[in-house]
Structure 1
Amino acid sequence: MDVDTGIDDSLALLYLLASPEAEIIGIAATAGNVPAAQVAANTLAWLDVCRVGDIEVALGAAEPLAIPLRTTEDTHGPQGVGYAELPLSERSVSSRSAAQLWVDLARAHPGEIIGLCTGPLTNLALALRLEPALPQLLQRLVIMGGAFNHPGNTTPTNEWNVHVDPEAAKEVFDAFSAAPPRRRPIVCALDITETIEMRPKHLVLLGERAGSTPVETVTESDPPQARSAASNPIIRYFTDAVRFYFDFHRLYDQGYLAHMHDPFAAAVALDPRLAVTRPATVDVELVGSITRATTVADWTGMWGRDPNADIVIGTDPDQFFDRLITRVGDYARAVYPPQHE
Structure 2
Amino acid sequence: MAKYKMILDLDTGIDDALAIAYALAAPECDLIGIVCSYGNLLVDGAVQNSLNLLEMLGHPEVPVFRGLSHSSTTDSFSVMPVSQLIHGKNGIGEVELKQADRQVESMSGVDFFIEAAHKYQGQLLIVPTGPLTNLAAAIKKDPEIVDLIGHVTLMGGALTVPGNVTAVTEANINQDPEAADEVFRSKLPLTMIGLDVTTRTLLTKQDTKKWRDLNTLSGQKYADLTDYYIDAYKVTSPHLGGCALHDPLAVACAVDPSLVQTIYLNMKVDTEGAFRGRTIGDETRINDEARQTQAAVNVDVDRFVSTFMRYLTDLFAKH
TM-score by length of 1: 0.86
Aligned match for 1:204, one of 209, 216, 226: 209
Partners of 2:237 and 2:38 in 1: CA distance: 27
Per-residue deviation, 1:69: 2.2
Counterpart in the other structure of 2:108: 97
**Which digits, 9 at most, give the CA deviation of each residue in 1:278-337, with x for residues without a partner?**
10111011111x21111112599636464541111111211111101111111222x23x
Counterpart in the other structure of 1:215: none
Question: For 1:311, what is the secondary structure of its paired residue?
Answer: strand
Residues 60 and 102 in structure 2, CA contact (< 8 A), matched pair in contact too: no
Counterpart in the other structure of 2:248: 263
Question: For 1:324, what is the secondary structure of its paired residue?
Answer: helix
TM-score by length of 2: 0.92
Residues 40 and 91 in structure 2, CA contact (< 8 A), matched pair in contact too: yes
Partners of 1:309 and 1:91 in 2: CA distance: 37
Matches within 5 A, 1:142-153: 142-153=153-164
Partners of 1:157 and 1:61 in 2: CA distance: 25
Per-residue deviation, 1:205: 3.7
Counterpart in the other structure of 2:169: 158
Matches within 5 A, 1:273-312: 273-288=258-273, 290-298=274-282, 302=286, 304=288, 306-312=290-296
1:69 to 2:77 alignment: yes
**Taking structure 1 as reference, are residues 132 and 300 closer, same or farther at Cα in structure 2, changes over 3 Å only?**
closer
Partners of 2:218 and 2:284 in 1: CA distance: 45
**Taking structure 1 as reference, are residues 35 and 327 closer, same or farther at Cα in structure 2, changes over 3 Å only?**
same
Residues 106 and 113 in structure 1, CA contact (< 8 A), matched pair in contact too: yes
Counterpart in the other structure of 1:226: none
The aligned amino acid for 2:183 is: V
Per-residue deviation, 1:109: 1.3
The aligned amino acid for 1:198 is: L
1:135 to 2:146 alignment: yes
Counterpart in the other structure of 1:187: 192
Q: Identity percentage over the alignment?
A: 30
Residues 132 and 180 in structure 2, CA contact (< 8 A), matched pair in contact too: yes
Question: For 2:126, what is the secondary structure of its paired residue?
Answer: strand
Consecutive unaligned residues of structure 2, counting only runs of 5 or more, are 1-7
Counterpart in the other structure of 2:223: 239
Richer in helix (by share): 2
Counterpart in the other structure of 1:249: 233
**Which digits, 9 at most, give the CA deviation of each residue in 1:247-304, with x for residues without a partner?**
211112425511110011111011111111110111011111x211111125996364
Question: For 2:238, what is the secondary structure of its paired residue?
Answer: coil
TM-align CA RMSD: 1.8
Aligned residues: 307
Matches within 5 A, 1:48-127: 48-67=55-74, 68-71=76-79, 72-127=83-138
Rg larger for:
1
The aligned amino acid for 2:281 is: A
**Taking structure 1 as reference, are residues 293 and 303 closer, same or farther at Cα in structure 2, changes over 3 Å only?**
farther
* More moved, 299-308 vs 50-59: 299-308
Consecutive unaligned residues of structure 1, counting only runs of 5 or more, are 213-230, 337-341
**Taking structure 1 as reference, are residues 322 and 206 closer, same or farther at Cα in structure 2, changes over 3 Å only?**
farther
Partners of 1:186 and 1:206 in 2: CA distance: 31
The aligned amino acid for 1:294 is: R
Per-residue deviation, 1:93: 0.5
Counterpart in the other structure of 1:216: none
Question: For 1:110, what is the secondary structure of its paired residue?
Answer: helix
Residues 282 and 308 in structure 1, CA contact (< 8 A), matched pair in contact too: no
Question: For 1:266, what is the secondary structure of its paired residue?
Answer: helix
